[in-house]
Amino acid sequence: MAKEKKILEIEDLPGIGEVSAAKLKAAGIDSLDKIATMPYAELAETAGITPDAAKKAVQAAQESTTINYETGSAVFERRMTIDKVSTGSADLNEMIGGGVEAGAITEAYGKFASGKTQLGFQLCVNAQRPKSEGGMDGSVLFIDTEATFRPERIKEIAKAAGMDPEKVLDSIYYVRAQNTDQQILTIERADKLIEEKGIKLIVVDSMMALFRAEFVGRGALGERQGKLNMHIHKLQSLAEKHNLAVYLTNQVMDNPGILFGDPTTPIGGNIMAHAATTRLYMRKSKEEKRIVRLIDSPSMPEGECVIKITRDGIKG
């Protein structure tokens, strides 16, 4: 038998040299799975190889990729031990199934001053607590697109929680994204930071502000949604791969199509609607009170609860 090299990267495929691998990667084809599902002709053209070589490469990619089956019970066991960050409010935690979950995306949308950023700050603090105290024992990556990150406010919340405020700030890695490219690249390149710094929570505050500002008009909508889709896909895969929680905030608009009831609709259309595993709608109530409504969850019933934004942070 010919010498067999285990196929791990696309360069290992028969007929795919360094040059064709580089062409494929430039076209966004960077995994064996992607090649395994490609039509031969398309691969031949993209990689600049003969159709015959492309056929062999696709077949080799198919043979090398494995599908992992798990029983429902195994998934159940894993879900029972999933990490959750406390929101600071016992009622809100209960409503969403124990806290903001690792391995998934949680979105909070609402008008300005509804408390989306404050909840983000609270999660930045709580994520750093030990697991036994409603935390994840991890650091935080905070992507700020609206210039509303306030370390002094986080210090205040940390102090109230009996934590060392300086230490808490030192474990938050902050990026001020000025445009969607910076926002996207921060996430594309986050793997290294996540591993080195033990990131357990990613906050994007807010997810849509820059997309909304940059892609104006109907004509730009398709491009916007395409870019957004890739960005969300990457966030979701980081959440699963590194078992971390993703918290996104989102702006709202008034939907003129809704004649009865609350016309407040989150930005981002279907792509955003499908992105979040858990979706929360936050509304201002009297004084420090905020109403949080659970709009979408894979396992919890719809519901509503009241939280308070206090000097010490989010309370029940």
Ligand X SMILES: Nc1ncnc2c1ncn2[C@@H]1O[C@H](COP(=O)(O)OP(=O)(O)O)[C@@H](O)[C@H]1O
Tell me the C-alpha distance between 247 and 28, whole Å. Answer: 27
* 310 near ligand X (CB under 6 A): yes
Q: Choose, by CB under 6 A, the member of 26, 41, 74, 113 that binds ligand X.
A: 113
Residue 110 near which of ligand X, Mg ion, none (CB within 5-8 Å, type-dependent)? ligand X
Nearest residue to 165 via CA among 197, 135, 124: 124
Interface of this chain with ligand X, residues 114 to 173, rule: CB under 6 A: 114-118, 153, 156
Minimum CB separation of residue 287 from ligand X in Å reads 8
- 142 vs 242, which CB is nearer to ligand X? 142
CB of 220 to Mg ion, least distance (A): 24
Chosen from Mg ion, ligand X, none, partner binding at 212 (C-beta under 5 to 8 Å by type): none
126 counts as binding Mg ion under rule CB under 5 A: no
311 is a site residue for ligand X (CB under 6 A): yes
- Minimum CB separation from Mg ion for residue 100, in Å? 17
3-state secondary structure of 58: helix
Q: Which does 237 bind (CB under 5 to 8 A by kind): ligand X, Mg ion, none?
A: none
The single-letter DSSP state of residue 107 is E
| Residue with the CB atom nearest ligand X in the bound state | 117
Adjacent-strand bridge partners of 308: 289, 315
CA–CA gap between residue 2 and residue 37 (Å, rounded): 26
Among 114, 117, 126, 297, binds Mg ion (CB under 5 A): 117
- DSSP-assigned letter for residue 37: T
Pairing mode of beta strands 264-266, 199-205:
unpaired
Report the side by side order of strands in the sheet with 199-205. 172-176, 139-144, 199-205, 245-250, 105-110, 278-284, 289-296, 303-310, 313-315
Q: Sign of the C-alpha dihedral, residues 155, 159, 161, 162?
A: positive
Nearer to ligand X, 34 or 153 (CB): 153
Nearest C-alpha neighbor of 85 from the set 205, 246, 193 = 246
Contact between 49 and ligand X per CB under 6 A: no
**Spatial CB neighbours of 152, under 8 Å, sequence gap ≥ 6:** none
Residue 76 binds to ligand X (criterion: CB under 6 A): no
Q: Which residues bind Mg ion (CB under 5 A)?
A: 117, 148
* Binding positions for ligand X, rule: CB under 6 A: 110, 112-118, 153, 156, 309-311
